[in-house]
Structure 1
């Protein structure tokens, strides 16, 4: 009798045990009836690589659902091939998305996704306040046919404010995001200027998540930034000139060389061309060189910019934009970006522009 009772008790316990929680996404969006949503997993935020893992059918009442997702991971939802939403989902989180239309969606059930959305809201506000406001002023001055000197000053301010913008984002991560996996998507905007902060952020993240794939990716991001930090040595660069001839950085570098990442579509880059011309004409004979690397994706635009801006120093490009191997290797995510190296290839300064760059080169010579 005793053994029968034990077996019966175990059966009762087994039957009453709750189902193991799973990671899922569900929602109800009014006006989205009988459409579809592409669900993708982000494989690499730096290279913008994603894999579509499911197509969610939206029911007549606007509901949709996907269960048993891999976590922790970063996902994107693309609604009707138009709006895309990024989500940071940790294990055992049931994400719920609700709204009356695509421009006003509320996300619950995932503190990580909520942090990522809060970061995005702050990022846009910071960018508008520090960068877009300056661009708007430049646009107004152009219509008023203001002096080129004033516009050049504002372009320099735009670059300076963008760096302030990145610093604000770093503070947001440090103060608001803790060790959330939502940190991973923010790493696409990390740069060498705030490297010490990122090292600390990743160290804390690793302590909380020692064995997940995202930790490894964050560590690699920091390692990449370390390679281009002041005091490090640049790796060899071999890229084609406009004629197709391969020219290496090592073959042209002089006493001091400015490695300049730019593009025809980057207004601050184009404005800086005039000052680079002055520096080149003044100091080239004394041992100054510029190795320009265009991240254009359309060759003719690159060639037109070279001619119009009179960029007579070595200029190279694979015309692959930010997907070029050198952009990935050097962790370039924004333009203009530059490094000043000595004849041994050691980085002695980075990301200085405008009058600061002019003063730095003058001091060198």
Structure 2
């Protein structure tokens, strides 16, 4: 699982896409909040906006134009609450003393989100128990707890799959599927196929379909298209200039801790196989040249490093649907993808198999 991901941003942009903006009203009736201010944070079709409204006589009203159902954040007395709302009228009710019991009505997507939460509550309760136990556990106990955590993740994914199958027309099902895009085409496509045609025809459904087409490019067996980016000296370098070798196209960034932790493994594999027909081409998702170059020096990476310094909008990473890092693609001497996301000893093991 990738620890640094752009999935949330992709999700919010995806959910905020329909043909045209429609009027949206959120009314709040929270007993005990008079005289306070409620802050509302939104991401409408990729445009982030912070708004605020005064609470008068325990009531506030917020009006805006949303282009579709989306996740918003309400900040009430320094506490943040997330809800799904969409075009139309939604109402939030409750009391200041029982904020955990706030209730949102008028939002079908929020209703589905609540239903999903109840559907997996037994698993999330177990996760909470394990997290508490983890803080007090010995090293040996933590190893066992990690196994149980992974087993719970697998169960949660299976429950989500079942929810999607049972709610093929739900906008929330699209949200759940979009949250899995960092796992790749093979995992997402079967879930997308479970959606009803009415869901696929929404703008969010169409956006998800486009994302799938992008993810498809990184399937094992596909040819990796040529690309060109600048190295640390500013020289433009083409991927095709490495034809004839196995090439690990490695997506990383200086600010990504898991990437930096993985670099010694890549370096070890590079040193072992650099004279046997293997090399590495790093693609950095940095946006500051100084930080990028310093990390290369600090981690002692001698291979070719490329970047357009556009951060998450790096043209190579976006064209292959890379939404989480570290990530990599291993291509053969003809440019065909033969493996992906090789970590730790997996990289050396694969190279040993290929470069006998």
State the TM-score, normalized to the length of structure 1. 0.71
Q: Is the 8 A contact 1:23 1:91 kept in 2?
A: yes
Measured against aligned partners, the alpha-carbon deviations of 1:35-66 in whole angstroms (never above 9, x if no partner) come to 243463531xxxxx1254x9452223342224
1:50 aligns with 2:51: no
Distance in 1 of aligned mates of 2:98 and 2:288: 33
Deviation at 1:176, TM superposition (A): 2.6
Distance in 2 of aligned mates of 1:103 and 1:341: 53
Identify the range of structure 1 (66-75 vs 199-208) with the bigger mean alpha-carbon deviation.
Answer: 66-75
Change in CA separation of 1:274 and 1:73 when aligned onto 2, cut-off 3 Å? same
Greater RCO (CA < 8 Å, at least 6 residues apart): 2
Q: Which has the larger radius of gyration?
A: 1
Secondary structure of the corresponding residue to residue 33 of structure 1: coil
1:61 aligns with 2:67: no
- 1:5 aligns with none
Instruction: Provide structure 1 residue ranges, at least 5 long, that are not aligned to the other structure.
Output: 1-21, 44-48, 142-153
Change in CA separation of 1:347 and 1:247 when aligned onto 2, cut-off 3 Å? same
Q: Is the 8 A contact 1:206 1:215 kept in 2?
A: no
Q: Is the 8 A contact 1:97 1:107 kept in 2?
A: yes
Secondary structure of the corresponding residue to residue 225 of structure 2: coil
Residues 85-100 of structure 1 aligned to structure 2 (within 5 Å): 85-89=81-85, 94-96=90-92, 98=94, 100=96
- 1:17 aligns with none
Determine which of 24, 32, 35 is the counterpart of 1:33. 35
Measured against aligned partners, the alpha-carbon deviations of 1:11-39 in whole angstroms (never above 9, x if no partner) come to xxxxxxxxxxx964222345473424346
Change in CA separation of 1:235 and 1:63 when aligned onto 2, cut-off 3 Å? farther
- 1:19 aligns with none
1:247 aligns with 2:208: no
Change in CA separation of 1:171 and 1:117 when aligned onto 2, cut-off 3 Å? same
- 1:113 aligns with 110
Deviation at 1:83, TM superposition (A): 6.3
Secondary structure of the corresponding residue to residue 285 of structure 1: coil
Secondary structure of the corresponding residue to residue 223 of structure 1: helix
Instruction: Provide structure 2 residue ranges, at least 5 long, that are not aligned to the other structure.
Output: 1-22
Residues 123-272 of structure 1 aligned to structure 2 (within 5 Å): 170-177=157-164, 178-179=167-168, 180-187=170-177, 189-191=179-181, 193=183, 195-272=185-262
Change in CA separation of 1:62 and 1:291 when aligned onto 2, cut-off 3 Å? farther
**Number of aligned positions between the proteins:** 320
State the TM-score, normalized to the length of structure 2. 0.72
Distance in 2 of aligned mates of 1:265 and 1:336: 11
